[in-house]
Amino acid sequence: MPSIGNFSTIRVDVNAQHVATVELDRGAKSNALNSQMWDELPQALEVLDSRDDLRVVILRGQGRNFCAGIDFSALTGLAAAVNMPCPGRAREALRRSILRWQDSLTSLERCRWPVIAAMQGACVGAGVDMITAADIRYCTADATFCVKEVDLAIVADMGTLQRLPGIVGEGIARELALTARVIGAEEAKAIGLVSAVFPDVQALYTEVDRIAATMAAKSPLATTGTKRVMLHCRDHSVSDGLDYVATWNSAQMLSDDMQKVMQMLASKSREQPRFSKL
């Protein structure tokens, strides 16, 4: 697969099935997010969002663990950046830094292509923040998950408290966030955090590649629209969501993609239509 972008902490590849792989590339550090990775993740996703020939993004981590959370060096750098004599200015600078890091992970939602997270080993703290911003999650049998922040005497502030309740339910999310309890792969599947568990990394990557290729073969107008509508519905009422999707489909339903599907159904053909890039 050809690699794209000039990143030092992230590797981005694109294959012939229109699937991009974003790999956290600090395996020796368990892919803990340092300052550079916080900057490079949204840059990489912005590059992928701009490409009309893509359909799906896979997010994974190199090495034994998917992500061990925030690298200590990033916290040290943050402390230095907000070391100001004026408390008000120090707090304003800290708030801007938190918002910037939040936006880094929100880039997974902002990317128009569906994002599949594939996890192995430990997924801790900011790693959980990251995967809750993905659209679909799969993991290996040895994967573990922990909302760790309360053990560090801080409130999780990168998205877990906002996104996890919608994935696993309010009660379970509160219990995980307030206890910092480590859960394994099977429990993660039982509560709905992941959709499936695979025996090892090879099996995980093989199946995720297959699922991504299946998704990539579908209408890009339909998949990108489904992602956007579901994100909107998560944050709005049912009636608002219905109004939004009515407007969305009135703008995009009369497409060449839909005409191809109708022709396939009318001819009773088993050959799936091929959709052009956006």
- Residues 135 and 272: their CA atoms lie apart, in Å, by 24
Find tokens 């030092």 and name the residue.
8
Same domain, 155 and 105: yes
Per-residue confidence (pLDDT) for residue 247, from 0 to 100: 93
Same domain, 37 and 159: yes
For residue 207, tell me if it sits in a domain: yes
pLDDT digits over 54-81, tens only? 999 999 999 999 999 999 887 777 777 7
Per-residue confidence (pLDDT) for residue 3, from 0 to 100: 64
For residue 121, tell me if it sits in a domain: yes
In total, how many domains does the chain have?
2
Same domain, 28 and 165: yes
pTM above 0.85, yes or no: yes
- Residues 58 and 208: their CA atoms lie apart, in Å, by 8
Q: Above 70 in pLDDT, residue 111?
A: yes
For residue 116, tell me if it sits in a domain: yes
Which of the listed residues 216, 238, 258 is the one where a domain comes to its end?
A: 216
Same domain, 182 and 229: no
For residue 32, tell me if it sits in a domain: yes
Instruction: Give the confidence band of 157 by pLDDT, cuts at 50, 70, 90.
Output: very high
Find tokens 């994967």 and name the residue.
143
Share of the chain above pLDDT 90, in %: 77
Instruction: Give the confidence band of 4 by pLDDT, cuts at 50, 70, 90.
Output: confident
Instruction: Give the confidence band of 2 by pLDDT, cuts at 50, 70, 90.
Output: low
For residue 250, tell me if it sits in a domain: yes
Higher per-residue confidence, 87 vs 74: 87
Higher per-residue confidence, 94 vs 68: 68
Same domain, 160 and 116: yes
Same domain, 41 and 21: yes
| CATH value at residue 206 | 3.90.226.10
Same domain, 93 and 73: yes
Name the residue range of residue 202's domain.
3-216
pLDDT digits over 224-256, tens only? 999 999 999 999 999 999 999 999 888 887 788
For residue 278, tell me if it sits in a domain: no
Query: In degrees rounded to 5, what are phi and psi of residue 273?
Result: -70, 155
Output the CA–CA distances (angstroms, integers) from residue 241 to 165, 166, 233, 238, in the order listed: 19, 16, 5, 5
For residue 272, tell me if it sits in a domain: no
| CATH value at residue 240 | 1.10.12.10
pLDDT digits over 178-221, tens only? 999 999 999 999 999 999 999 999 999 999 999 999 999 999 99
Per-residue confidence (pLDDT) for residue 34, from 0 to 100: 94
Per-residue confidence (pLDDT) for residue 272, from 0 to 100: 80
Per-residue confidence (pLDDT) for residue 83, from 0 to 100: 82
Same domain, 142 and 66: yes
- 263-270: average pLDDT: 76
Same domain, 130 and 232: no
Same domain, 131 and 226: no
For residue 37, tell me if it sits in a domain: yes
Q: With the C-alpha atoms ordered 134, 135, 139, 145, is the resulting torsion angle positive or negative?
A: positive
Q: With the C-alpha atoms ordered 107, 122, 62, 34, is the resulting torsion angle positive or negative?
A: positive
Same domain, 76 and 139: yes
Average pLDDT, the chain: 93
pLDDT digits over 127-142, tens only? 999 999 999 999 999 9
Same domain, 160 and 51: yes
Per-residue confidence (pLDDT) for residue 261, from 0 to 100: 79
Which of the listed residues 191, 216, 241 is the one where a domain comes to its end?
A: 216
- 100-112: average pLDDT: 96
Per-residue confidence (pLDDT) for residue 270, from 0 to 100: 74
Which of the listed residues 216, 238, 257 is the one where a domain comes to its end?
A: 216
Q: Identity (one letter) of the amino acid at 54?
A: L
